[in-house]
A = this chain, B = another copy of it.
């Protein structure tokens, strides 16, 4: 390693350490922290993020970056040293454009807005959250203006989470998907619902089941843990400590079960990043100031949705694992065959809650959020009008009347955390998961058989090779081109949805 590369590695290693501490402050905030802690937690996160930013903008980092850029001038685009230097340079440019005070206001707002959102959600009282949403939107608009964009401020936000995408590219991609999904939904909706998943499943049994299934995917509890959170998430402090959460509703088994498989999928991404990338720029998001190793939010979501849906909601999975499930909830599912259970967990029915939506309506939930947040960003929608805009979109797309905001615009944590622009990445992830799975099955004729045998190591090895191990050293579309021959495409996803939902289910 050259002296410049070494110097840069030291600076970025320290930035990663700081951001891992931020991640722990955030994890704790959402799982363990007593209520009183909210008062000072915002200061702590704001101070550490500010220090991380200062370190990125420091003379030492800039000098090492410039030296490494000069040293690697003319080298191939795939040269890791050059890529590291270019990534840091982009982060320096980004943070120079964003005022430190803005960052501090955002970081300080997070915990108080989060607490207000939690109260508002619990009591279904949008008014409690509105002042914080006002402030969050104002901050996002200021940020977009400072970062710069192609004419639509939402583009600046989207690119934070999904580099390479814009407001327009997302709109086009969503239009194509929507046109493909609506006819399948027309065909699939209205089939009879099977209430087996609504029997009563004790939370303790669900917890043990979730742990068991996460382990089955290969999620390593020696480098992780599973906790309870109001809004489930995955978070990592290097690949050596990657934590997941889920939540338990005793009258709805799929929530926790597929939530755990989903978060385990995220966890597998982080746990399987190359060890050599620990504490490097390829395991640190220097723009968003996160200690994350996934290359984009969409790429991350591709892994969670792949394990949740392509594995967890397949007939093959339950043909193999129905006994395991039954053992966790004795007497409750003894009369239910794998076929019936698979059918029940793939039942298509428009509902209010995104994280419990079936695969056909899920993206419609995303599209309405994207529409609303794009309008908030360009100012065509005022925060106070979010409930009516939301309820109108739910009526139009899902044909449902939202009973109250708890079941509507207060269900997601994102806006309280200042995450405007991240919703589209969920649908990007769905599409990427299908694209990867189609290509892996085409390449490895034995993959389906191994999954039917309950061997998940083979799939995990493929995904580690194609996606996880690269960390942030390759872009989403570079990964996709290598693995599937093309950049992100809607077609494999629509083929998958058609195959699964236009004929017999599962």
Please report A residues at the B interface, Cβ cutoff 8 Å.
13-14, 17-18, 20-22, 24-25, 28, 32-41, 43-44, 46-48, 51, 220-225, 237-238, 240-241, 243, 278-279
18 contacts between A and B (CB under 8 A): A14-B51, A17-B40, A21-B24, A24-B28, A28-B28, A32-B225, A34-B221, A34-B222, A34-B241, A36-B220, A37-B223, A37-B237, A37-B240, A40-B238, A40-B279, A41-B237, A41-B241, A48-B48
Q: Is the interface of A mostly helix, strand, loop or mixed?
A: helix
A285 to chain B minimum Cβ distance, whole angstroms, is 17
Q: What is the count of identical protomers in the complex?
A: 2
- Bound-state Cα–Cα, A13 to B17, Å: 20
Taking CB atoms, residues of chain B closer than 8 Å to A238 are 37, 39-40
Taking CB atoms, residues of chain B closer than 8 Å to A48 are 17-18, 21, 48
Taking CB atoms, residues of chain B closer than 8 Å to A44 are 17, 20-21, 237
- Bound-state Cα–Cα, A35 to B222, Å: 6
Residue contact B278 to A40, C-beta cutoff 8 Å: yes
- Bound-state Cα–Cα, A240 to B243, Å: 25
Taking CB atoms, residues of chain B closer than 8 Å to A237 are 37, 40-41, 44
A405 to chain B minimum Cβ distance, whole angstroms, is 27
- Bound-state Cα–Cα, A28 to B21, Å: 11
Q: Nearest CB to that of A278 among chain B residues? A: B40
- Bound-state Cα–Cα, A18 to B46, Å: 10
- Bound-state Cα–Cα, A37 to B225, Å: 11
Q: Nearest CB to that of A31 among chain B residues? A: B32
A235 to chain B minimum Cβ distance, whole angstroms, is 12
Residue contact B223 to A34, C-beta cutoff 8 Å: yes
- Bound-state Cα–Cα, A281 to B35, Å: 24
- Bound-state Cα–Cα, A39 to B223, Å: 10
- Cβ 8 A contact of A17, one of B14, B43, B223, B243: B43
Q: Nearest CB to that of A223 among chain B residues? A: B36
A112 to chain B minimum Cβ distance, whole angstroms, is 13
- Bound-state Cα–Cα, A201 to B21, Å: 38
- Bound-state Cα–Cα, A420 to B241, Å: 30
- Bound-state Cα–Cα, A38 to B222, Å: 11
- Bound-state Cα–Cα, A408 to B13, Å: 40
Residue contact B47 to A17, C-beta cutoff 8 Å: yes
Q: Nearest CB to that of A28 among chain B residues? A: B24
Q: Nearest CB to that of A37 among chain B residues? A: B241
- Bound-state Cα–Cα, A21 to B19, Å: 11
- Bound-state Cα–Cα, A220 to B34, Å: 10
- Bound-state Cα–Cα, A224 to B36, Å: 8
- Most B CB contacts (10 A, CB to CB) among A36, A46, A237 go to A36
Taking CB atoms, residues of chain B closer than 8 Å to A35 are 222-223
